[in-house]
Structure 1
Amino acid sequence: MLKRHTLVAATTLLTALVLAGCGSSDGGGADADAPAAGSGVCGEGTPDGLLKEVCDKGTITVSTDPAYPPQSSLDPKTNTYVGFDIDVATEIAHRLGVKIGWETPSWDVITAGGWNDRWQMSVGSMTPTNARQKVLDFTQPYYYTPAVVAVNTDNTTISDVSTDLDGKKIGVCSGCTYEAFLDKTLAINGFTFDFVIDDADIHGYDTDTTALQDLALGDGTRLDAVITSLTTAQGYADAGNPVKIVGDPVFYEPLAVAIDKSAEQDPTSLAEAIDKIVGEMHDDGTLTELSKKWYDGVDLSVSQQ
């Protein structure tokens, strides 16, 4: 079990879902509801370090994915970002007392750290693995999702994920925790994993969605299966695509907000402020409400471990 009010720097937690696309975007609709100057955390006391920089600027820039529903995606009709992660990030910004801006770097760039202050926070369904904790500070998790196996709807040979996937062509996002699970290197302090899949033929993709698109081409055409989050797999299937979920989840992943340790200003103040906000959002039911909004009434803000 995880303690809610503990800032994760080099301890506890679990997995990541992908982010994709490069460059920046000004999509988003937070400015219309921007908090009043001097409100929120920025209106309390005398902030220092990276928190002071964000407060003085009046804007926090957040990395997100323009094609990762229901967590985050760019609505072409409104040119704004929508999704669970978008709402969580926007609420964090509101409680800080600042506006929000967006960047869309690739996942490997985000997880590598060294953001060069291009953005100050990642709300991208990231698992705080031990390796990532070396370069990023993490808050307590804001939600948890099961990692599941998806196959083409024509498949009839894969049902038991502990035996039927050995040696199969499995698609995952490159550099994410699903890949680490398959190559049996996934490590998070305080957690153990049952690596039930042996000798997988791992195929890495820029996003989970791209992997699912290859899976939809046909059973075994390019892939035999994809490992992704329950929310992503179910959303893709519900959109009418020829994939289905099989078996039980292979593991569960707590997902947390990340802040770059190598920011020019000391990031500790911002990390602590955001961690406190996430705890308050748990306690007052905001995360439950947002989860139910985006995940068909299911509360993923509570650990299922």
Structure 2
Amino acid sequence: MKSFGLSILAASLAFALAMPAHAGETLDRVMKTKTLTMSSDPEYPPQSFLNDKNEMDGFDIDVGKEIAKRLGVEFKTVTPAWEVITAGGWAGRWDLSVGSMTPTKKRAEVLDFPAIYYYTPASFAVHKDSKITKISELNGKIIGSCGGCTYDAYLKKDLVIDAQGVPPFEYQVTPKEIKPYDTDTNAFDDLKLGDGVRLDAVFSALPTINAAIKKGYPMRVVGDPAFYEPLAVATDKGDPEFDAKIKEIIGAMHKDGTLTKLAVKWYGTDLSTPAKTTN
């Protein structure tokens, strides 16, 4: 009887842990602690990075700070691995991700996406000494991208973006090898070693590539963007009240021009709507 009772207790605890958070849990925690904790990447400029003062900075950071401001709470960042963020089941370690995440169908199984806050083009880049001049010449080449992200999925021809307003796209490249990296910067560092030394090309967000080139990376963009992706705020499943609040705040930031202003600040152009990314 004792062992049976313990088994029932263990099963009950396992079931409870597997259940989503009670409605209102995340919002209640944020308002009680007066702190919004956001997951972020310290090596993903201009979206998020450590600046010269060793402080988190960038477009995503500014968006997160504005969300916290409108909630009336303090802002804090943590930096778990991307694969950990997209796996869901955060267990309250952070409250949301403003990390330029695409709301794919697979991710929606473990995460919620209450609001899209901007759109970005995805592009290929090669070393400046490369003889490659068009996307078709990337077939059969070694291409690097962030592991587990939409660029990785595109290269594997397994990308599903089930959000409204996504322009159609085609798979234009069949790599010889796809090399996954923890961050885009790591991929850029390998390409920087020379044409074909470790990589023939990288595939990433165009603003991230341009920021790296501006910083001195010997790269150049090849062809037009392969696709345009909507980027959404992500939350752990289980708190519709928190999701509704985030949706309300992002909607207000679209309406009052805050997202346009921040996009122009960091990218030099308005990426807050898909129509404007093509200008």
TM-score (norm 2): 0.86
Letter in 2 for 1:70: P
Instruction: Tell me which residue corresponds to 1:285.
Output: 257
- Map 1:2-13 → 2, pairs under 5 A: none
d(CA) in 2 for partners of 1:284, 1:299: 14
Q: Does 1:300 align with 2:271?
A: yes
Structure 1 outlier segments of 4+, above 4 Å: none
Q: Do the aligned partners of 2:90 and 2:236 also contact (CA within 8 Å) in 1?
A: yes
Q: Does 1:273 align with 2:245?
A: yes
Aligned to 1:206, which of 146, 160, 182?
A: 182
Letter in 2 for 1:145: T
Shift of 1:80: 1.9
Aligned to 1:172, which of 97, 122, 145?
A: 145
Instruction: Tell me which residue corresponds to 2:9.
Output: none
Q: Do the aligned partners of 2:115 and 2:246 also contact (CA within 8 Å) in 1?
A: no
Shift of 1:199: 4.1
Aligned to 1:197, which of 163, 166, 173?
A: 173
| Larger CA Rg, structure 1 vs 2 | 2
Instruction: Tell me which residue corresponds to 2:117.
Output: 142
Q: Do the aligned partners of 1:70 and 1:231 also contact (CA within 8 Å) in 2?
A: yes
Q: How many residues align?
A: 251
Q: Deviations over 1:106-144 (max 9, x none)?
A: 000000001111001101111111110011100221111
Q: Does 1:240 align with 2:211?
A: no
d(CA) in 2 for partners of 1:220, 1:199: 13
Q: Deviations over 1:193-239 (max 9, x none)?
A: 31111244101111111101111111111111000011110011111
Letter in 1 for 2:222: V
Instruction: Tell me which residue corresponds to 2:85.
Output: 110
Shift of 1:100: 1.2
Which of the two has greater helix per residue? 2
- Map 1:1-305 → 2, pairs under 5 A: 48-77=24-53, 79-156=54-131, 158-161=132-135, 163-189=136-162, 192-261=168-237, 266-296=238-268, 298-304=269-275
TM-score (norm 1): 0.79
Which runs of 5 or more structure 1 residues have no equivalent in the other structure? 1-46
Q: Deviations over 1:167-197 (max 9, x none)?
A: 1100000111101001111012255431111
Q: Do the aligned partners of 1:62 and 1:89 also contact (CA within 8 Å) in 2?
A: yes
Q: Do the aligned partners of 2:117 and 2:272 also contact (CA within 8 Å) in 1?
A: yes
